Each structure stands twice: as structure tokens, then as C-alpha cells.
Structure 1
């Protein structure tokens, strides 16, 4: 295999995410990725051993792009440690994920595909478990209200709210999102 360009690999994986979001897992082919990345036919097959490799790489890249930067993480623990602050953090989460809509939709496709592909399931399980554990640790270490179960409950509620928001936005119109997020936090966390 020829020496590979890391920027081109990243562009191919980003193109795979876009294909997943637009076409679903069945539409994810090397040719579709080449077309989406605007590279010569056969380029993706030179960078990825097989389709499973491409799916796994896409799953990892989605999390890289969704991960908040260090400034955002540090700002998350600034200010009061109360339900209002948690509500702000949940709103920031929804906003950040909404800004990368195709990434989240691609992740949903990967989750469905993982039910049929044990290697992908193992990768996603490890990544998502680590993400949940990191969120619990961040929350508890920062002194925000609630316990580990509260964080997991918020994780589950926010994920489904995001699914509705990104896939069927008319179920809960965008103008209702802030109120819904506040209601979830108020019901999950203990009073201040």
C-alpha cells in the first residue's frame, strides 16, 4: 500500500459521514465516498481495507468532531453549580450536536449497522461507554447537582430529544426546545 496522506484520509472519512447521513449504511460504498470527497475513483479503496474499516473509522471521527474543545469544557464548570447551569450545559450540548446534524444522523446509521456487525458494535460500545463514563466523572468532579444516575438519565433523555429534533423537527418545534430541556433537567435533578 502506498504512503497515505492523513488529510486525505480525514477528508474521506468526513465524506463517508456525509454519505451515511444522506444515503444510509446501504449507500456507503467506496465509490460514493470517492464522489462525495471529489477524489478519483478508487481512492477510498486505497485508504481503507474494507467497508467495515470505513464504518469503524467514520464512527471514531464523528466523536472527534462532536467532542467539545478544551475552552468549552473549562467554561462548563465556570459559574454556579446548580440546575440552571446544567440546563445551560444541556442546551449547549443540543446546539453543538445540531450544528453537526449529519454527524449525528450518521451515528444513528452506524448504531443500526452495529446490530449486524460485531466489530462495529464493539467499537461503538467501547466509545459510547467511555463517553458516558467521562460525562459522569465530569459532572461529579465539577460539583454539579445530581449523582451518576442523574447524569445517565440526562444522557438518555437528551439523546432522544436530539433524535426527535434532528429527524422529525415538527414533533417538538425548535422554539419549544429550550423549555423541554429545562423541564428535563428540573425533573431529573434534585432541587437547588
Structure 2
């Protein structure tokens, strides 16, 4: 397998775009080549098969969606409070809207995992690590609430994100800031 990291990243980014636009059935190694604008067969030189490509897409999505450390550090200067949690959740929505493709790709991978046991195992590990990381961050930062509260916020935000991605007009009458503020107050007490 080739080791040009910039090319590998470009192929993973192209995979994310194909997944977001065409769905999991449209994700072929040739489609990735075309999206990346590289010669046919290039993706095959970097990924042994579609399964390996999907597994590595998860890692790339994580890189793309991870908050900028400097911006997060700036946000975390605030005193731990319900308002700070609401700010962090609002920033999550902003990142989702700025990189819709990554979130759509994850949704496609969730659906694909219902049909492919090996992807199901990888995706479960990926999301479990993400959730544990979020819980640890929340508790370590001294933010209000407990482990269960963080899980409830995760579930509510996942629903909000899925609706914003798939039927954005549904929640249009409800300002996100107000929803997130109320969600934070009700879940975290």
C-alpha cells in the first residue's frame, strides 16, 4: 500500500463526499478515484478493499469534526455552567453545518453497518470511544450533570443533528439556541 499521506487524506475526503452525496451503495473505489480527480486504480493502491476504506473514513471524519484546540481552549475559559454546556452544544451544531458531508457520511455508515457485521463492530467501537471521550471531557471539565446526563444530551443532539441534516425545515420554527438552552437546563437540572 502507498504511503503518501496527503494523497491518502485526499482519497478519504473524496470518500466522505461520495458517501454524503451518493450513499454507501455509491461508494466504490472507482467513484473515489473520480471524486478525487486521480487516475483510475489510485484508491486501490491505498486501500485493499472497500471495507478497509470505510474503516479509515471513520478516523478521517473524527479528524474533520474534532473542534479546533485553540477555539475549544478559548471556550473553556468560561466558568463551568449550564450556559457553557449550551455554548459547546451550539458549537457542535455549527461544526455540523460547516461540514455536513462528514455527518451525512456517518449516517450512511450507520445504515451500512446494519447490513455488514464487520462494519457494525468497527462503528460500534468508534462511537463508543467518541461517547466515552465526550463523557470524560464533560466530567473532567467540571460541567454540570453526570454520566447519564451526558448520554441524554448525546441522544438529544444526535436527533437534532439528524433532523437538521435530513429535514431542516422541521425544526426551522424553533431557534436552535433556545432549544439547546432548554435541553441543557432540563437534562442537567
TM-score (norm 2): 0.95
User: Within 2, Cα distance between the matches of 1:174 and 1:37?
Assistant: 38
Where does residue 161 of structure 1 map in the other structure?
160
Counterparts of 1:4-153 in structure 2 under 5 Å? 4-153=3-152
Using the alignment, how far apart are the partners of 2:58 and 2:19 within structure 1? 10
CA deviation profile, 1:131-177 (whole Å, cap 9, x unmatched) = 11111111111111110111010011011101111111100118621
CA distance in 2, matches of 1:72, 1:53: 32
Q: Which runs of 5+ in 2 are unaligned?
A: none
CA distance, structure 1, for counterparts of residue 78 and residue 4 of structure 2: 43
Change (3 A) 1:69 1:52: same
Contact 1:165–1:174 under 8 Å retained in 2:
no
Gapped regions of structure 1 (runs ≥ 5)? none
The residue that corresponds to 2:175 in the other structure is 176
For 1:120 and 1:57, how far apart are their aligned partners in 2?
11
- In the aligned structure 2, how far is the partner of 1:73 from the partner of 1:157? 22
Q: Which residue of 1 aligns with 2:184?
A: 185
Q: Deviations over 1:94-115 (max 9, x none)?
A: 1112111010000000011111
Q: In structure 1, what is the Cα distance between the partners aligned to 2:64 and 2:173?
A: 23
* d(CA) in 2 for partners of 1:117, 1:17: 18
TM-score by length of 1: 0.93
User: d(CA) in 2 for partners of 1:73 and 1:129?
Assistant: 22
Structure 2: distance between partners of 1:189 and 1:40: 52
Any idea what SS the aligned residue of 1:170 has? helix
- Distance in 1 (CA, whole Å) between partners of 2:167 and 2:177 is 17
| Mapped partners of 1:150, 1:82: distance in 2 | 14
Aligned length: 189
In 2, are the aligned partners of 1:30 and 1:45 still within 8 Å (CA)?
Answer: yes
Runs of 4+ in structure 1 off by over 2 angstroms are: 72-77
